[in-house]
Amino acid sequence: MSAAAEKAFGYDECRKTADWLLSKTRARPKVGIVCGSGLGGLAEVLEGREVFKYSDIPNFPQSTVPGHAGQLVFGTLKGKPCVCMQGRFHLYEGYSVQKVTMPMRVFKLLGVETVILTNAAGGLNRDYKVGDVMILKDHINLPGFTGVNPLFGPNDDRFGTRFPSVSDAYDRELQQVARDAASKLGYADFLRQGVYCVVGGPSFETIAECRLLLKLGADAVGMSTVHEVIVARHAGMRCLALSLITNISVMDYDSREKANHEEVLETGRQRAEHMEKLVSTIVSQLVQN
């Protein structure tokens, strides 16, 4: 990436974006929420909503994926000041990994301390079913094996250290909060905990690729979240991530099943209320912590 491109997503540009937002709202969010495919309804439950279209925010990327509204929503959830991304960005849209993750740095400069990310994912674990919700305990950054890492390039110490540890990428205390919230809501039957593997997309995985990822230790596969988490942790924010299992990955050459985006969105719609209640309950527990 050129020096000019690196600068476009650097500290000064992110600071300008954050300052523009702070000048337009009195909200000072402590929690950032990222909505995955079909899960944008999470932003609708915020109280006192202030909405900014991505296209109106200086330096902000634009969401091009169906099921992603493309707006930043400020408000309160269970009394906690939040900012919610109603639509995220992906490598397959043609964006650089630095641009995909820029919003996480803006979150940091807005004052966000905890990030809750949701996504739609394909189930690799044979025990998983469509509609299950998986708490991420770890991830595999498959593009990272070939150098696709959002921290690639010069490091700015104002965001974080040159070599951040990600062995604790997913906050263990927040994972317990999520488990407790699911138990309280009666969601234990469809709650899972596992490893998420990110791939580039936009094509869904082949049968051979699914078999490989399962052998590597992945329980679910998707096209987002991991790069955002790396940048959020680099900036010192706590992270919790939840995958809605919207389809079961095909691993049988005799099967006629095929993954498709419409199935992803439909499962999101069916499970939306559960996800909203789960995230809301998690946030309510953060108020007490």
Q: Which residues are catalytic?
A: 37, 68, 90, 92-93, 120, 223-224, 247, 261
Nearest in space to 135 (alpha carbons), one of 287, 275, 284, 288: 275
Asked, as a colleague might, if the bond just before 164 is cis with ω within 30 of 0, I would say no
246 close to 268: Cβ distance less than 8 angstroms? yes
Contacting residues for 11 by C-beta, under 8 A, at least 6 apart? 105, 156, 158, 159
Helices and strands, number each (H, E), in the chain: 7, 9
Three-class secondary structure assignment of 222-280:
ECCCHHHHHHHHHCCCEEEEEEEEEEECCCCCCCCCCCCHHHHHHHHHHHHHHHHHHHH
Nearest in space to 100 (alpha carbons), one of 176, 152, 39: 152
